[in-house]
A and B are shown apart, each in its own frame.
Chain A
Amino acid sequence: MMKNSQVTVTKEIADDNYFYLRSCIRQNFFPGAEKVFLDILKNKLGKNIIDNANHISCTGIGYHSDIVPYETYQAMVARQFALMTEQGLKNAAVSCITSYGGYNEVMKTWKEFPEEEAKARKNLKNATGRRFEIPENISHSCDIIYKFRHDIAELAQYKLINKQTGKPLRIVDHIGCHYAKIFPEKGIGGAEQNTVLSAIVEAWGGQSVDYPERRHCCGFGFRHYLVKNNRSYSISNSKKKFESMEPYCPDMIITNCPGCNMFLDKWQYALAKIEGKTYSGDKNGIPVLSYEELAGLVLGYNPWDIGLQMHQVDVEPLLKKMRFDYNPDEKYLDAGGKFMGQPEFTGCLP
């Protein structure tokens, strides 16, 4: 078990007054996760977090697929900082791992090469008239959940316990590469024995389970997923992870990266289509949840309010293990209570 990090990474995580920076992929595939994150911060933890309508994509996916040059990326990051500055906020709460790595990369460049910062300031000012101050704190939203994990545990209505067996849920984690590999000091526990998710899991009563390919990439690979002909790279890397997890019979996968969350969910389905098998011992597959979604469950949110019906691998088997009080009949009802139709099937194998 990779529980106790030998090299302590002490990273400062701001306590309050955040500027929320959304993720393209998370909004697209798991909008409920961002919704519940904001709700937990505001209404359960009593924090001030601003959701500003003017912020745009950081263009990180374009940057890492090499169509957006670094100067442009820096100016886009500068614009996010300018919006924060204008709102009088100094703490960024970042939803996306690619952005998180990107903001840190830009900050590092500016520190070492002040002429790059000057260029970004000039580009931003000429283009928009905006000015910015460097944020005091940049935290990923998983850092913030990590920081308040014990507060959440105190408010919890559910523990990560398999009520059918009485044992802790067995949970494997996948840390998005750009969370701590680019700058190990920016991730809780560092690059090698990262603890940001395992500490959350354990604080809420679950069991964090190690597996050999824990540090391997999910396989997004930017251009490897974006171009249809290249996707075999992406699925092969995810498969490698599933094969590595399989013997440990995990009850679920927790991720901190929106892209990884999506890929680990969808590729299980695609692999089942190709190979006719799952890695979970059942037809459903291993449910994949983000830390916000898991926090939502622990705090007793209605799973359909927080968007868990948008996952391909069905979360209901997990809810049943937790003896979660929910109404399966509401899964596909719209905001007005009207049936929206439903997917042809959920899970991996029919």
Chain B
Amino acid sequence: MDENSSARLKRSLLRITYRIGLFLAMLTICLPGLWIVLSSLRPTVEIMAKPPVWIPQQISFDAYVAMFSGIGKGGIPVIEYFRNSLIISVTSTVIAVAIGMAGGYAFARYRFRGKSGVFLGLMLTRTVPGIALSLPLFFLYVRLGIIDTHFGLILAYVALNVPFTIWLIDGFFRQVPKDLAEAAQIDGCTRWQAFWQVEFPLAGPGIASAAIFAFLTCWNEFALASQLTRSVSAKTLPVGLLDYTAEFTIDWRGMCALAVVMIIPALTLTYIVQKHLVGGLTSGAVKG
């Protein structure tokens, strides 16, 4: 009896510790982001207040209004940056996925000499730090006259994304049984038809998640963009964020608002894609 109750006590103590641990972990993860959102909605006076004001007294969307109402009021041309980011990210994603599909299919469906060597080689091109790659690219782009253009950045981002899209799409094609395409070919499809009518639809969701991943990489990239763009005509949002810190007095509220604008598309897309992403990265780790 006594042993029973002490065991029960120990059990519930463990459970409470577990709950607290989980809560603290989740708090640490979410707090920084929530703090940014909250700060973007508060008046600057409250952000700067000493002693700190913990409970917001008034909530306003002024920062967002100011940001989108042009250079004069908000300080930086957010709309242009947003447009550049969108054009560059979407275009380079589409190209990278097309190339990645071809490459991923080759890895998943064919055996060839030096396969793992080629794979490792592709991955190694991805390891080159953005800032190290930016030096020769900067020089070349100036010579070719494509510095500070959408085209230059799109080209760089395609190269940045191809290795990873190949990795992901390779994983998704591996999950589609080989027999299905073979059966279609026996029934009279060409390999090309079998690919588009059988394998592509099955691997579709995975390919979509690879696309979203590529999009996010472009959307978030900074090291290359900061050196290869200079003006409003090609600067992307991450580079735009730095506009705020360049000044002596930092407009914290404006920066927070811009941060929220940057994070919302990323948040939505990652949420859609999360399930497939993990599946794609780990495929082949458990069974071939």
| B partners with A | no
- Residues of chain B touching chain A, judged by Cβ–Cβ distance below 8 Å, are none
